[in-house]
Amino acid sequence: MPATTLPRLSRDAQRLLSLTEALSRSGSRLEDIYWEDLLAVQLNKLLLGKKNKIVETALDHLLVTDINAYEILVEQAETLSESTRLVHEGNEYDVLLFSAPLVAWTRYQLPQGELTTGQVTDLIAHMQASVAAPDARLAIIPRLVNFDQMPQSFQETRSWIQQLAHQALDMSGEAQPIKLDGEIDSLLADARFLVGAIVVPKGQPLFRWQIKQDANTFISRQQCHEDWAHGSATILAPLFTGCHVEFLQPDAYYVNSREADRRIRPLALKAAVTWLQSAAQLSGGELLAVIAGCGDSGIEEYRIGFSPRQSNEVIYGCIWPVLSKEEAASDSMHDGHVDVPDEISDLLKEMGVSDIRRLPGVYAPEFCDDCGAPFFPNALGEMLHPELPEETDLTPIHFH
């Protein structure tokens, strides 16, 4: 349906759809550039305007009507919300919102993530020495944030980069601290992010791996990653006593959000089984795991319900989000592709869980009306609220 005949969409949303559709039909790079420039003008207008969800509304529409155009608009919206150009004291600067994720799991309790002034100073200095290009200026949020605290819209992402860029350039009159919710939910496995802005003179490299070592070679990303991980582990060690921590490559905001999401899935499953073994005193051989694909219009996530063997009561659950169209279709893909339930089963078996069942079909992603907790499947195909046995030791152990 043409964008101009969609009365339920605002004029700005219709213009987004029209420009995205034109870009999707472009037959040359030169035409691409023309439409990208017009689309950028419209996106920047929306990202810098009053609070709105126009970009997200347009994406919701395209997700149903035109998946190719959807992917184009997502890419453009991500690019313009995580990067920008600004002028300060007559000089032009390129700015990128970056994150340095870490994924952690424990059988105890993860820390809240507040950073001391000394840790912030040390992390900035270490990033300048191991990751950022020599001419880069940096500013970071003085806290390791989790997914729930990160921007929930493209406008909010753009606001973060503006505020952090002003801090990096010491624009004291315009710099505002980023406000975050206080407490983080206590989890056994989670991704945490060091989020900041990297600012360089217009057209200059952002990262150290863009710098030539000699006429023909560049510093490797792997070496930068190794240097970053080693130094960060030392700086943040006091926060993560009793935790297993993996430091990922610092990079652009959105690509790292997806990478952390992917990497946290097996750790969350591992933490769940480990915790059940210690808190509920149920070994892997005493657990039954049931895997169900859930979603409203296809498989959007897998839910794994845990029960004692010979019982239909769900005592715990874990969600495995689907992160790509290929994963969503994995049940019907056997030509060299890993089936997601098989991947989950293999991980459970490594943890000693041998009784694993896969429910056919797609289930509605149900939640508790009272507390909002997700429901998880039992062996009968019922989606139930998890209820831990009364004798379970729920006392969290703090090392922080």
For the chain, the domain total comes to: 3
Confidence band for 297, pLDDT divided at 50, 70 and 90: confident
pLDDT at 337: 52
Pick the last residue of a domain from 81, 114, 141.
81
Q: Are residues 77 and 142 located together in one domain of the fold?
A: no
Cα torsion 100, 157, 109, 277 to 10°: value is: -90
315 and 255 assigned to the same domain: no
Q: Which two tokens stand for residue 287?
A: 């657990």
pLDDT value, residue 127? 97
- pLDDT value at position 362? 93
256, 289: one domain: no
Asked if 293 and 348 sit in the same domain, the reply is: yes
- Return the percentage of the chain with pLDDT > 90, whole number: 67
Q: In angstroms, rounded to a whole number, what is the distance separating the alpha carbons of residues 162 and 97?
A: 9
In a domain, 398, yes or no: no
Same domain for 99 and 77:
no
Q: What confidence score (pLDDT) does residue 338 get?
A: 56
pLDDT digits (tens, 9 = 90+) for 211-257: 988 878 999 999 999 999 999 999 999 888 888 899 999 999 999 99
Asked whether residue 88 carries a pLDDT value surpassing 70, the answer given is yes
Which residues are CB-neighbours of 38 under 8 A, at least 6 positions away?
Answer: 19
Cβ neighbours for 324, distance < 8 A, ≥ 6 positions apart: none
Does a structural domain hold residue 392? no
What is the maximal distance between C-alpha atoms in the chain? 73
pLDDT of the residue at 62: 93
Say yes or no: 155 and 301 in one domain. Answer: no
Residue 14's domain spans which residues?
3-81
Describe the crossing of helices 340-350 and 253-279 by its angle, rounded to 10 degrees.
Answer: 40
Residues 33 and 134 in one domain: no
Q: Is residue 257 part of a domain?
A: yes
- Residue 399 counted as domain residue: no
pLDDT classification of 182: cutoffs 50, 70, 90: low
Name the DSSP letter for residue 352.
T
The predicted-structure confidence for 113-166, as pLDDT tens digits, reads as follows 889 999 999 999 999 999 999 999 999 999 999 888 999 999 999 999 999 999
Higher-scoring residue by pLDDT: 45, 280: 45
Task: Give the single-character DSSP code of 309.
Answer: T
Strand pairing class (287-294; 355-363): parallel
Q: Give every CB contact of residue 183 below 8 A, 6+ residues apart in sequence.
A: 112
Q: Comparing 42-51, 98-107, 324-333, which segment has the lowest mean pLDDT?
A: 324-333
Cβ contacts of 332 within 8 Å, gap of 6 or more = none
Encoded amino acid at 340, one letter: V
Spatial contact of 138 and 198, defined as CB atoms under 8 Å apart? yes
Q: pLDDT above 70 covers what percent of the chain?
A: 89
What is the amino acid identity at position 180? Answer: L
pLDDT (tens digit per residue) in 142-152: 999 988 899 99
pLDDT at 179: 77
pLDDT surpasses 50 at 382: yes
255 and 115, same domain (yes or no): yes
101 shares its domain with 242: yes
Do the domain assignments include residue 397?
Answer: no
Of 47, 81, 115, which marks where a domain is finished? 81
Beta bridge partners of 350: none
Report if residue 159 sits inside a domain: yes
At residue 173, the pLDDT reads 62
Least confident interval from 122-131, 167-176, 185-194, 254-263: 167-176
Do 75 and 100 lie in a common domain?
Answer: no
pLDDT tens digits, one per residue of 19-48: 999 999 999 999 999 999 999 999 999 999
**Per-residue pLDDT for 176 more than 70?**
no
Residue 310 confidence class, pLDDT cut points 50, 70, 90: confident
The number of helices, as runs of H, and strands, as runs of E, in the chain is: 10, 12
Last residue of a domain, one of 36, 64, 81: 81
- At residue 1, does pLDDT exceed 50? no
What is the chain's mean pLDDT, rounded? 88
DSSP codes, 59-113? HHHHHHH-HHHHHHHHHHHHHHHHEEEEEETTEEEEEEEEEEEEEEE-SS-----
Residues 42 and 157 in one domain: no
Note the pLDDT of residue 298.
84
User: 268 lies in a domain?
Assistant: no
Residue 272 falls inside a structural domain: no
**pLDDT value at position 398?**
46
Q: Are residues 142 and 258 in the same domain?
A: yes
